[in-house]
Structures are given as C-alpha cells and as structure tokens.
Structure 1
Amino acid sequence: MTDNVEQVPPAQPGRRAKRSEQTREKIFRAALKLFAERGFNATTIEAITAAADVGKGTFFNYFENKESVLLNYRELQMERVAAFVAANRESDRPLAPLLLELALTLTIEQGQSPGLIQSLLTAVFASDTVQKRMAEAIEGNVQQLALMVGHRQERGELRNDLSPFDIAQGFQRMIFGTMITWSLAPVDPLEESMKRSIELFVNGVLPK
C-alpha cells in the first residue's frame, strides 16, 4: 500500500537563475550609482556591497573586482547595439530619429549623471586590461552598426564615397565626443546635445 504523501517539488532551476541574475543586477546598479557619486577610485567594494545589501562574498560570486563591473557594462552595451541593429537593420524610419534612439539607448546610464561618464573614463584609462577590452567592444559595435549603414547605402540614402565602417565609426566617435563634452558642462539634458550632434552628423553623410 502506497502512502498518500504529497510530493514537494524541488526548487526550480529557473527560479534560482532568476534570483541570481537579480542579485547580479542589484550589485551592478549599486556600483554604477556609487561610481557616479564618488568616482571609481573612491568607491570600495565594501561600499558597493553595503549599497546593494549583500555580503562581500556575494560580490565575489559575480565579480572579480571593480574593473569586472565595467566589463559587465561593456557586455551590456554590446548586447544593446546587437539588439538594435537586429531590430532596425532594414527599417524605413528616418535616419536622424533612429540614430538618436540608439544614442540614447547607449547613454541611458550616463545621461542620468555626468559624474558617471568621468568615473568610467578614469577607470578605463587606469587599467590596460579594461582599456583593451573596451576598445574591442567599440570595434565590435562599429562592425554591427556598419551592417545597418551598408543597407542604407544600398538604398541610396547615404553617401557611397565612405565605407560603412567609416560612417559607423564616425557615429560612435560623435556619441563619445558629445557625451564627454556634455559631462563637463551639462547645461541641457544629454538628449538635447545628442539631438544637435546627430542632426549635424546625418547632414554630413547624406548623398551629395
């Protein structure tokens, strides 16, 4: 005779993975917030764990050090570019608002705090490893954007005397330049500065 005992299902791996990702995201966001407020060098791991309300050991379950938090941000940016290109590679939307949407997507954290931009730059130039990995990400993003640019060139919407890579690289540099200069004198919202820069950029890549 079999006892009628209710079987308790084991914890679902999907739930554990979700909780783990939520913890990682909480630590990541707490670190970015502190980088913006205090600067990268002045932010300690202890401060990050206190802000995220986790133990120090939990931090090291997800990140090797403060620099690895930046590399997580690198991965996030690459995912954003890849997703944007996949969704808009053959889009018929006007170029200026399309590029503005991308620029704002890539600067959503920085647009909330000029201090974060300066903090990220400090961290990048302080570490050869981070600098190299960030440079690799930038090149990868440019190659992704070049796919979208090339499609626009095929339709005659953009000038063809420049390669898709050159135009995509110019766009990336425009974003960085606007972001850095805005962080030094953030009189208007970053979105307004980006809008003006993109209008000038688009006028420069239209067919002559």
Structure 2
Amino acid sequence: MLRNIRKEELKEQIFLQSMALFQEKGFDNVTVEEITRACGIAKGTFYNYFPKKEAILLHLGMLQMESAKESLKRYDNLESLKEKLNFLFQDLFARFSIYPDLARLTIAEMMRSSLLIKAELSMIESFQSELEVLIEEGKKKGQVVEQLTASDVAAVVAGVYFYCLMVWASSDMSADEMRATFERRFEVVWGGICPKLDGEGE
C-alpha cells in the first residue's frame, strides 16, 4: 500500500515537473532527458510511468476520468439526477482551479496534436458512457424526458463540458468563469432534458 502511494507521488511529481518545463520552453522544445534531470530520476524510471513524452499530457485527462468515477460512487445515494450531475462537474472543475495554467497548457497541446486528440476522444467516449449509465437511471425514475435516449443526452452534456474547456484553454477567462459558463449552459440543456410538470410552459 505504502509502495503504491509512493509510486503515485512520483508519477505526480514527474507530471508537474514536466508541465512546468513545457510551460517554460514549449512542449516541442523539452526532451525526456531534461525531464528526468529535473526530477532526479533515471530515464528508465520515467518510461515506467510514461511510455512517451506525449503520454504526460494525457495524464490530466486520466486523472479527470478517475475523479469522475470516484464522484459517481460518492453521490450514488442522491435521488436527484440533476444534483448528481452538478456535484460531478463541480468535482471535475476543482482540479482546473488548482492547476489552471497546467490544465490550459495540456488542453491546448492536445488540440494541436492529432495523435493526442485520438487518445482524448477515447477518454471522452468513456466519460460519455459513464454519464449514459447515470442518465439511464434518471430516465427510469422519470427525471428525463421519455422520448430522449440516454446516449444522446450524455453526448450533449459531455459536449457542453468539453466545449467550455476548449474555449477556456484558448482564452484568458479564469477557471471560476469557465465553471460559471458551464453551469449557465447546463441549465439551458437541463431545461430540454427535464420533463415538464402538468400545465408548465402553456
């Protein structure tokens, strides 16, 4: 157990040190040798954690996926689908608030690289699948319009989230402003997802 914690701490150290170098010099100008020298580790140790330099940029996305799964477990006992989704996205945005510059750099580099975009799309699909299960449960409880499919709803909600991230990465808005933008747009989406009460909207 202690060994696993140390391994995760070292992986996080490599990630943060690498991102600091990427931010200072640009992703393309940083070598694996520079990263290992800055971390005080052997090159072989680096490759034990990251098969190649590009994999460092995917680490943030994987952390977000782990965070999403942990959040879904944490809020599983909540009855309201909307509450579950709100808490889930609050947790996801929290990491961007902690490391805004690193997160912005990661997203920008991933959008620039076709290789990284393919890997990111795979993570997005995985995230949508997690949302789909959640939304299907909400649909069974009558919290989602019956005619809508869970997969379509999940794709729209995930689309709003990732679009906000991309806009944020290429702008000067703060992480809090990004979160607020998402929350406003999620309310618009929710208005189309949630079944109307009798007489509502007439």
TM-score, normalised via structure 2 length = 0.77
Q: Deviations over 1:49-79 (max 9, x none)?
A: 3553434443223212211223333432322
Query: One-letter code of the match for 2:3?
Result: R
User: Could you say which residue in structure 2 is the equivalent of 1:165?
Assistant: 151
Q: How many residues align?
A: 193
1:36-47 superposed matches below 5 A: 36=23, 38-47=25-34
Q: Which has the higher contact order (CA 8 A, sep 6+)?
A: 1
Identify the match of residue 199 of structure 1 among 169, 187, 192: 187
Query: One-letter code of the match for 1:165?
Result: S
Counterparts of 2:153 and 2:24, CA distance in 1: 35
Do 2:108 and 2:166's aligned partners in 1 also have CA atoms closer than 8 Å? Answer: no
In the alignment, is residue 153 of structure 1 matched against residue 139 of structure 2? yes
Do 1:46 and 1:56's aligned partners in 2 also have CA atoms closer than 8 Å? Answer: yes
User: Could you say which residue in structure 2 is the equivalent of 1:70?
Assistant: 57
Counterparts of 1:165 and 1:40, CA distance in 2: 35
Identify the match of residue 173 of structure 2 among 158, 175, 186: 186
Identify the match of residue 134 of structure 1 among 120, 138, 144: 120
TM-aligned CA deviation for residue 167 of structure 1: 0.7
SS at structure 2 position matched to 1:41? helix
Identify the match of residue 103 of structure 1 among 85, 89, 104: 89
In the alignment, is residue 59 of structure 1 matched against residue 46 of structure 2? yes
When residues 42 and 27 of structure 1 are mapped into structure 2, their CA distance, relative to the original with a 3 A threshold, is: same
Aligned-CA RMSD value: 2.8
When residues 205 and 26 of structure 1 are mapped into structure 2, their CA distance, relative to the original with a 3 A threshold, is: same
Counterparts of 1:135 and 1:153, CA distance in 2: 26
Query: One-letter code of the match for 1:142?
Result: Q
User: Could you say which residue in structure 2 is the equivalent of 1:117?
Assistant: 104
Do 1:49 and 1:55's aligned partners in 2 also have CA atoms closer than 8 Å? Answer: yes
**Percent of pairs with identical residues:** 26
TM-aligned CA deviation for residue 173 of structure 1: 0.6
Counterparts of 2:195 and 2:139, CA distance in 1: 9
Counterparts of 1:52 and 1:32, CA distance in 2: 12
Which structure has more helix as a fraction of its residues? 2
Do 1:36 and 1:116's aligned partners in 2 also have CA atoms closer than 8 Å? Answer: no
TM-aligned CA deviation for residue 145 of structure 1: 0.8
Q: In terms of Rg, which structure is larger?
A: 1
TM-aligned CA deviation for residue 188 of structure 1: 6.9
TM-aligned CA deviation for residue 170 of structure 1: 0.7
Do 2:132 and 2:154's aligned partners in 1 also have CA atoms closer than 8 Å? Answer: yes
TM-score, normalised via structure 1 length = 0.76
